[in-house]
Amino acid sequence: MENIDEKKLYEIQFVQLIFSLKTSAIMQLGKIANPLTGKIERNLNEAKYTIDMLNMIKEKTKNNLAPDEEKIINDAVFELQMNYIDEVKKDKEEKKEPKPKEKEEITEKETKEQTEEQAEKTEEGQKPEVEEKEEADESKENVEKEKKPKKKSGKKKYSKAKKKNENKA
């Protein structure tokens, strides 16, 4: 470190600070595991705070950075902002739809409740819903058949008339 001049040292420390904050934000966005716990820990509020802090540093150091330092901080802020937007969208989608396990649990619970209701109806002498639905479907079909005009063919008339004549004779 003694051989490095002060200006170069500050450049190195500035880049280290930006990368440190960027890494923290990426971890807070749930993109990488926390090295201390080994777990993915997503906290969008902390991530937003870290991104805002990087943005503040960017604004405060404007026109006072070397071109490569400016590029590093601009790229870091841009990348983190895009990732933050994606994570917020994911968060909203996750809140809208129940998780797959929750869906299975709901379906299983509904099926169990329906089965119990049908068992109670059977015990009380009522028809289970399945049979009621089948009977309703059959009665709908019968009503539809009655509504349809019957096709009359000449053959049936002839055979009926022939039977009447045979009965008279």
pLDDT by residue for the chain (169 residues), tens only, comes to 567 788 889 999 999 999 999 999 999 999 999 999 999 999 999 999 999 999 999 999 999 999 999 999 999 999 999 999 999 999 888 888 766 665 566 566 677 677 677 766 666 665 555 555 555 566 666 655 655 555 555 555 555 555 555 665 5
Domain ranges of the chain: 6-96, 98-146
User: What distance in Å separates the CA atoms of residue 84 and residue 28, rounded to the nearest whole number?
Assistant: 10
- Alpha-helix runs per DSSP H in 29-153: 44-60, 67-96, 100-123, 129-147
Burial tier of 25 (Cβ tally within 10 Å: 0-12, 13-18, 19+): buried
Query: In which residue are the tokens 């009359």 written?
Result: 152
